[in-house]
């Protein structure tokens, strides 16, 4: 079995591929692959490993040797699953690898915002404490997480890891039901109630036609003016123009985004050229602790091993 990894550069350079190599006869890695390079690079491959490279029906129709697509992520929207199934090409994904990494990121953003650690460090660096007539220099102060309400939109492994940390901080956790749902599942709270009550709204749902632009003007205006929004899911879940307007009008207090609708963003991206002080943006790294990346690679290796053993592990085409 010959495998090609079409976009290895989406992982850190020090991530080890040894586990994958154990289960294939040959592994060819490319840093990145453009759309016009996919067919040439994958023509002799039995297995394609892709994080974000798009595999359309047109591409798959020209890869007669292909037997398995290993998506190096949880999201599967870069592969035409129906086209793969029609050609008897198995498709797998991975999940659960980033739950600790994402939860840590969410709380890093929350703790920075509520505890103002960088601000207080800067006060000392600027000599403000040294000039204080009192034993402490309060600056912007800090606010406890205990007693605050965090609303979770989506309730998979990532959100459940955030929930565990939130409970350890004595926060109240509300799990949002789908908007406009006709009934409520166990432990769920109506979507509108969650967004109205949340001091922090953390997004963990997949991008689907139902969730695109989920966070829009209507939702943002229902949130508390003191609320914080965190998006580690997908950029398209948030309407970026509506968010910019809400932040500039102080309809919500703060937003931390790890994802944008366009990735990587263009230099003139709306939120980068007009970035207000109450918006922080990171480069889609919440998932990417060294441990999480290695865990993901090892899960890919298991998917290949189980495919070779005729097991349906993590299959998304069945």
Catalytic entry in 263, 269, 291, 315: 263
Q: Report d(CA 259, CA 245) in Å as an integer.
A: 18
Q: Report d(CA 18, CA 171) in Å as an integer.
A: 41
Q: Report d(CA 99, CA 43) in Å as an integer.
A: 35
Q: Is 23 a catalytic residue?
A: no
Peptide bond into 264 cis (omega under 30): yes
Q: Report d(CA 49, CA 301) in Å as an integer.
A: 10
If DSSP states are collapsed to H, E and C, what string results for 131-152?
CCCCCCCCCCCCCCCCCCEEEE
Q: Is 2 a catalytic residue?
A: no
Angle (nearest 5°) at CA 266 between 264 and 270: 110
Residues 6+ apart with CB under 8 A from 174: 149, 150, 151, 152, 189, 193, 194, 197, 198
Q: Report d(CA 228, CA 222) in Å as an integer.
A: 13
**Hunting for tokens 């109240």 — which residue is that?**
172
Residues 6+ apart with CB under 8 A from 117: 111
Catalytic entry in 23, 120, 204, 234: 234
CB-based contact 62:41 (threshold 8 Å) = no
Catalytic entry in 41, 87, 178, 284: 284
CB-based contact 203:153 (threshold 8 Å) = yes
Calculate the alpha carbon distances from 145 to 72, 92, 109, 201 in Å: 34, 39, 12, 13
Q: Is 87 a catalytic residue?
A: no
Determine phi and psi for 109, rounding to 5 degrees.
-65, -40
Please give the positions annotated as active site. 234, 263, 284
């Amino acid at each position: 079995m010959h495998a090609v990894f079409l976009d290895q550069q989406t992982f850190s350079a020090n991530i080890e591929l040894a586990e994958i190599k154990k289960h294939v006869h040959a592994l060819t890695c490319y840093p990145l692959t453009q759309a016009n390079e996919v067919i040439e690079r994958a023509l002799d491959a039995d297995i394609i490993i892709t994080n974000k490279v798009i595999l359309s029906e047109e591409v798959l129709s020209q890869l007669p040797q292909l037997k398995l697509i290993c998506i190096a992520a949880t999201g599967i929207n870069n592969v035409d699953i129906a086209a793969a199934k029609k050609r008897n090409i198995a498709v797998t994904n991975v999940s659960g690898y980033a739950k600790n990494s994402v939860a840590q990121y969410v709380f890093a953003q929350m703790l920075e915002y509520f505890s103002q650690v960088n601000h207080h460090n800067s006060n000392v660096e600027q000599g403000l404490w040294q000039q204080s007539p009192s034993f402490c220099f309060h600056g912007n102060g800090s606010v406890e997480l205990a007693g605050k309400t965090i609303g979770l939109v989506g309730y998979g492994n990532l959100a459940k890891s955030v929930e565990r940390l939130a409970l350890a901080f004595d926060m109240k956790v509300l799990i949002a039901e789908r908007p406009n749902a006709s009934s409520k599942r166990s432990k769920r709270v109506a979507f509108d109630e969650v967004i109205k009550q949340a001091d922090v709204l953390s997004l963990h749902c997949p991008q689907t036609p139902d969730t695109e632009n989920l966070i829009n003007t209507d939702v943002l205006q229902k949130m508390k003016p003191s609320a914080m929004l965190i998006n580690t899911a997908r950029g398209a879940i948030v309407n970026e123009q509506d968010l910019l307007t809400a932040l500039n009008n102080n309809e919500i207090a703060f937003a931390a985004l790890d994802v944008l609708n366009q990735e990587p963003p263009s230099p003139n991206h709306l939120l980068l050229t007009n970035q207000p002080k109450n918006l922080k943006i990171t480069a889609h790294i919440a998932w990417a602790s060294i441990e999480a990346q290695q865990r993901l690679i090892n899960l890919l290796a298991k998917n290949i091993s189980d495919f070779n053993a005729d097991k349906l592990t993590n299959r998304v085409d069945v």
